[in-house]
């Protein structure tokens, strides 16, 4: 028997635009009193809800419970930019790619996760939040263009389709002449992340019990695991932890997880006249050529800017930090859309990413009948879904072949000792973001 007290519980601040523009999502109950279940899943993001859905397919008679510290969709799952990318997407690299063998496997597994989400979108009527639109990469500098050409060579080597775009073609789509060239890849799904995740939870709630606003304060591992919150507890023989970086708060993968935040701002609705001035298409998503640059999305009458990574080892950000980075968003916005003048941002927010030094996920059985899926290295909409669904397969002992592949992958490497991390990680991020130059 072992007790894992949570040293921290999540408290994301500021309403994200994705959540803010939705009609109020369905409320789930707060955990109160004692409950029993066959499975308890802690964390209701991509990984947790994928694990729950997969379990409901594999063991439909079992009692499955999901519990989240915050409202469903309030955490990173509803705060991200919604690029569900099928291709390799190594944020720490120079051109998003890795080795060919590794990338082929990654693409196959990412696509399996996207299909799993797609079937959920069909089942629960969430197609409006899950659009197979593909993604653009835009270069604003010669360095960026060189990165894209390298990326295209890499895609050619993988026999993956792409389209090369010049400045004129990108202007027709985005309305701006900021980009000097780009690449389109067709396999990315563009999600409304909060709409998708709240809709997924609502769809699952007819078969699965979901508790929200219920931070888990301790987990006692034993014959029956006991998961406790301030007002209640659940006992179950099997436990799945899908709390992403907060795995460390429960004492798992200590000194192996990098807690990085990234930030976004969403405009107020553009007036019809502003939309006419801007031109371009109504819906598109663009990733910078340099992984450290700005991601831009247009969603009808609004535009979303995401940039800046900060190392926050205490797993939290502050209003001051969000405000400071908001000024960087405004600069990036003005550089791309000078024709729109001073555009007020209606929403500004930040969110927690969990990375590892070797881009490896946290996956597997960490104690008897205790399974984990987390640390999705900035591509959690897809890889959270992937490892979430595979934890269910692993835990049930199904014959899904991707489980063996996932178990053969590396685990998160040990971080450098202090004070190297607290000094070195911010410096490295600063240098990488500086390298992005005009792409930021």
Ligand X SMILES: Cc1cc2nc3c(=O)[nH]c(=O)nc-3n(C[C@H](O)[C@H](O)[C@H](O)COP(=O)(O)OP(=O)(O)OC[C@H]3O[C@@H](n4cnc5c(N)ncnc54)[C@H](O)[C@@H]3O)c2cc1C
Task: Supply the Cα-derived Rg of the chain in whole angstroms.
Answer: 21
> SS3 for 367-435, per residue?
ECCEEEEECCCCCHHHHHHHHHHHHHHHHHCCCCHHHHHHHHCCCCCCCCCCCHHHHHHHHHHHHHHHH
215 near ligand X, rule: CB under 6 A: yes
294 near ligand X, rule: CB under 6 A: no
Q: What's the closest the beta carbon of residue 195 comes to ligand X, in angstroms? A: 14
384 near ligand X, rule: CB under 6 A: yes
Q: What are phi and psi of 151, to 5 degrees?
A: -60, -40
d(CA 154, CA 158): 6
The residue within the footprint of ligand X, chosen from 80, 141, 310, 433 (CB under 6 A), is: 80
How close are the terminal C-alpha atoms of the chain, in Å? Answer: 49
76 near ligand X, rule: CB under 6 A: yes
Using the structure block, give the residue that is written with the tokens 């994705």: 18
151 Cβ contact list (under 8 Å, min separation 6): 95, 96, 97, 137, 183, 289
44 near ligand X, rule: CB under 6 A: yes
**Collapsing DSSP states into helix, strand and coil, what is residue 121?**
helix
71 near ligand X, rule: CB under 6 A: no
298 near ligand X, rule: CB under 6 A: no
Q: And the tokens for 75?
A: 């955490």
The region of 5-13, 137-145, 179-187, 324-332 touching ligand X under the rule CB under 6 A is 5-13
Cβ proximity to ligand X, 170 vs 241, nearer residue: 241
The region of 80-88, 114-122, 141-149, 361-369 touching ligand X under the rule CB under 6 A is 80-88
Q: What is the DSSP string of 150-206?
A: HHHHHHHHTT---EEEEHHHHHHHHS-S--SEEEEETT-EEE-HHHHHHHHHHHHTT
174 near ligand X, rule: CB under 6 A: no
Instruction: Give the CB-nearest residue to ligand X.
Output: 380
Q: What's the closest the beta carbon of residue 109 comes to ligand X, in angstroms? A: 14
Cβ proximity to ligand X, 85 vs 180, nearer residue: 85
247 Cβ contact list (under 8 Å, min separation 6): 241, 253, 257, 354, 362, 372, 374, 375
259 near ligand X, rule: CB under 6 A: no
79 near ligand X, rule: CB under 6 A: yes
10 near ligand X, rule: CB under 6 A: yes
Q: What's the closest the beta carbon of residue 339 comes to ligand X, in angstroms? A: 26
d(CA 211, CA 215): 10
**What mask, x for binding ligand X by CB under 6 A, covers residues 51 to 70?**
----------------xxxx
Number of residues that bind ligand X (CB under 6 A): 41
299 near ligand X, rule: CB under 6 A: no
83 near ligand X, rule: CB under 6 A: yes
Paired strand residues for 239: 40, 370
> What residues make contact with ligand X under the rule CB under 6 A?
6, 9-10, 42-48, 67-70, 75-77, 79-83, 215-216, 242-244, 246, 262, 264, 306, 351, 353, 374, 376, 378-382, 384
């Amino acid at each position: 028997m072992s007790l894992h007290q949570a040293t921290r519980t999540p408290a994301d601040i500021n309403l994200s635009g994705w959540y803010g523009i939705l009609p109020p999502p369905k409320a789930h109950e707060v955990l109160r009193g004692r409950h029993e279940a066959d499975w308890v899943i802690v964390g209701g993001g991509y990984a947790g809800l994928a694990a729950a859905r997969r379990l409901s397919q594999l063991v439909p008679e079992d009692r499955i419970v999901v519990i989240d510290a915050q409202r469903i969709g309030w955490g990173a799952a509803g705060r991200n930019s919604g690029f569900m990318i099928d291709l390799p997407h190594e944020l720490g690299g120079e051109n998003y790619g890795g080795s060919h063998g590794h990338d082929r496997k990654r693409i196959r597994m990412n696509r399996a996760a996207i299909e799993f989400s797609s079937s959920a979108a069909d089942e629960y009527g969430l197609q409006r939040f899950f659009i197979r639109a593909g993604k653009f990469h835009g270069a604003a500098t010669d360095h960026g263009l060189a990165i894209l050409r390298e990326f295209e060579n890499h895609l050619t080597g993988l026999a993956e389709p792409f389209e090369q775009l010049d400045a004129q073609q990108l202007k027709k789509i985005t309305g701006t002449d900021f980009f000097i060239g780009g690449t389109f890849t067709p396999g990315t799904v563009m999600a409304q992340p909060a709409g998708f995740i709240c809709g997924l939870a609502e769809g699952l709630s007819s078969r699965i019990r979901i508790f929200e606003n219920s931070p888990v304060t301790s987990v006692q591992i034993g014959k029956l695991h006991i998961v406790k919150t301030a007002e209640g507890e659940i006992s179950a023989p099997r436990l799945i932890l899908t709390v992403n970086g907060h795995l460390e708060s429960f004492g798992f993968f200590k000194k192996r997880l990098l807690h990085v935040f990234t930030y976004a701002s969403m405009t107020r609705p553009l007036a019809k006249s502003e939309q006419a001035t801007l031109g371009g298409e109504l819906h598109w998503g663009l990733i910078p050529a340099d992984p450290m640059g700005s991601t831009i999305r247009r969603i009808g009458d609004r535009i979303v800017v995401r940039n800046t990574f900060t190392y926050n080892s205490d797993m939290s950000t502050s209003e001051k930090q969000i405000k400071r980075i908001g000024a960087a968003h405004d600069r990036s916005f003005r550089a791309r859309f000078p024709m729109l003048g001073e555009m007020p941002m209606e929403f500004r927010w930040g969110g927690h990413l969990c990375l590892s030094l070797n881009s490896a996920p946290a996956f597997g059985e960490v104690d008897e009948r205790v399974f984990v899926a987390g640390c999705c290295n900035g591509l959690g909409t897809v890889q959270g879904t992937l490892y979430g669904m595979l934890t269910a397969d692993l835990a049930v002992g199904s014959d899904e072949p991707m489980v063996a592949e996932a178990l053969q992958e590396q685990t998160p490497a040990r971080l450098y000792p202090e004070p190297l991390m607290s000094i070195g990680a911010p410096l490295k991020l600063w240098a990488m973001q500086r390298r992005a130059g005009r792409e930021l």
